[in-house]
Structure 1
Amino acid sequence: METIQYTRMQLFSLVCLRMLVGWHFLYEVLVKLLNPGWSAQGYLIASQGPFSKFFVALGNQSGLMVFVDIFNMGGLALIGLALILGCAVRWAAVFGMMLLSLYYLAYPPFGNLLGVPVEGSYLIVNKTLIEIGALWVLKEFCTSKSLGLDGLFASMKSKKKKDAAMLGGHSYE
């Protein structure tokens, strides 16, 4: 995969976007942790739209809800941390898009078709779809090699290879 050379402003903009989306994911975990009675069950049971039968059925499975809640919060936390730290950003973006797609499908924004529209939710486009788009941009224009743990790990690996080459191809560890 080729390395893209960004201007300072491009890099700054993309890293800011990565941090903002990462913070949003982590904030969602924090809100859930601070609410001891939180469960995705109510969200799932109240689902609307063409896929609501699936989400309602999932929400009605009390035995599964513990796993659904852990999966949801764990996914949000891992994705948020990866984005903020710049570690496995492409994977985090893909899994983030998948998780957000589930949220989008549970409550698709069809305007007045399903009730009164709310701020931030318009016909087809809502904040969830916009954040999916932001993650897509972060996946395609990855900055973690320039500013993130991915870059740190890559430079450490490169240094290790150079050191091994200087020792005649032998690494004495």
Structure 2
Amino acid sequence: MISLRYHIITIAAVFLSLGLGIILGGSIGQNWINEKQQTLLVGLEEKYDQALQSNAKLQNQIQELSGRIEQANEEFSAFVSKGFMPDLQEKTIGLWMNQGLKDEFIRPFLESVGMKVILIDESLPSPLPAYPILFVGAQRPNWAHEWAEELTLQVEKANLTPAEQGKLLERIQQVYQEQNHEY
């Protein structure tokens, strides 16, 4: 039979080994966890640096491609404009823009074709001129219905793509051909 002393020694040995395991695990295990965390952090930092470098390269590529696209659009616009220059040179067009839209593109574009651009503000010009007017924006002023419908053109936005530029010039050319006037 097993004596009481044997049970007490066994229980003491279990608690002693448990305490020793906690002490060793806490000290040696902590170093192991710290090493793994450091390794993980170093790996994450390397991936972050790689992502930053990749992002910088992509930003440079985007800027380069944007520059190329802008240059191609300018070249195409110049090409399109030159085709309409003989017909629209020295022709007059009125330009009315919705509030909030900037005149950074439309007027210089029309002037590059050789047209005379007259800016029209919110008030109705008096007397009504006989040249076409281009309304830029989604809305027209209240007095727009008083202008001859065959002399009105409208575009929704101020910054046109090269294809939209070509269509606008075609429409302006058609208005002048239909009216067969020198404005």
Question: TM-score scaled to structure 2, two decimals?
Answer: 0.25
Higher RCO (CA-CA < 8 Å; seq separation 6+) = 1
TM-score of the two chains, using structure 1 as the length reference? 0.26
* Larger CA Rg, structure 1 vs 2: 2
The structure whose residues are more often strand, as a share, is: 2
